[in-house]
Amino acid sequence: MAERFQTQTDQHKILAQFPEEFPVIVGDKTRLEQVFYNLLSNAIKYSPAGGEIRISGQIRSEHIIICIQDKGMGISQDDVPHVFDRFYRADEAAKNTQGAGLGLYLSRAIIEAHKGRIWVEPRPDAGARVCFSLLREKGFTNNLLNEETS
């Protein structure tokens, strides 16, 4: 997935950092890829000056966590309660970028349909960090992000 998005930008370096034993992400592959697409597209769009976009994964006892972090304008604390609302666009984002305000709304619906949760970590002027968690399927290794290279 990281390699696929790297071809869409020459201003950003997309890095993936996952533990070697990261488990398989079990779920609707098309919909979960849509979540990655939405989050990575936002990271590229909202960090127009370029920089690093980091996709990272963590393993917890009952679930996995995946975060996508950029070096863009970040998310204001005032916007945090609304970023997953349908058609919501922060004032600054609406002035400087195009979009319908549906990407995070749809991502939340997909993650919640997989019994997971999604959240943002406000970091104004330090980039955005959007994370989601999904229940862990024990006994599997490998992951969605590396599947295309296998």
Specify the pLDDT at position 99. 60
Q: Is residue 146 included in any domain, yes or no?
A: no
Domain count, the chain: 1
Q: Is residue 149 included in any domain, yes or no?
A: no
Sheet (strand 117-121) strand order: 12-17, 51-59, 63-69, 129-135, 117-121
> How many CB atoms neighbour CB 126 within 10 A?
15
Instruction: Report the Cα–Cα distance between both ends of the chain, in Å, rounded.
Output: 12
Q: Please say whether the beta carbons of 106 and 118 come within 8 A.
A: no
Q: Is residue 15 included in any domain, yes or no?
A: yes
Across the chain, how many H-helices and E-strands are there?
A: 4, 5
CATH number (domain holding residue 51): 3.30.565.10
Residues 6+ apart with CB under 8 A from 108: 84, 118
pLDDT at 136 over 50: yes
pTM for the structure as a whole = 0.81
Comparison of pLDDT for 105 and 145, the residue scoring more: 105
pLDDT at 13 over 80: yes
Specify the pLDDT at position 119. 96
Query: Could you list the residue range(s) of the whole structural domain that residue 51 is in?
Result: 2-141
Which residue has 């990272």 as its token pair?
A: 56
Exposure string of 12-23, with b = 16+ CB inside 10 Å and e = fewer, is bebebebeeebb
User: Per residue in 47-102, pLDDT tens?
Assistant: 878 889 999 999 998 999 999 999 888 888 888 788 888 866 665 655 565 565 67
Instruction: Tell me the Cα Rg of the chain.
Output: 15
Comparison of pLDDT for 138 and 85, the residue scoring more: 85
Q: Is residue 120 included in any domain, yes or no?
A: yes
State the alpha helices, DSSP H only, in the chain: 2-6, 29-45, 91-96, 103-113
Comparison of pLDDT for 55 and 145, the residue scoring more: 55
Q: Is residue 109 included in any domain, yes or no?
A: yes
Q: What is the mean pLDDT of residues 105-125?
A: 90
Specify the pLDDT at position 142. 45
Q: How far apart are CA 80 and CA 122, in angstroms?
A: 7
Q: Which of 14-18, 88-92, 104-108 has the lowest mean pLDDT?
A: 88-92
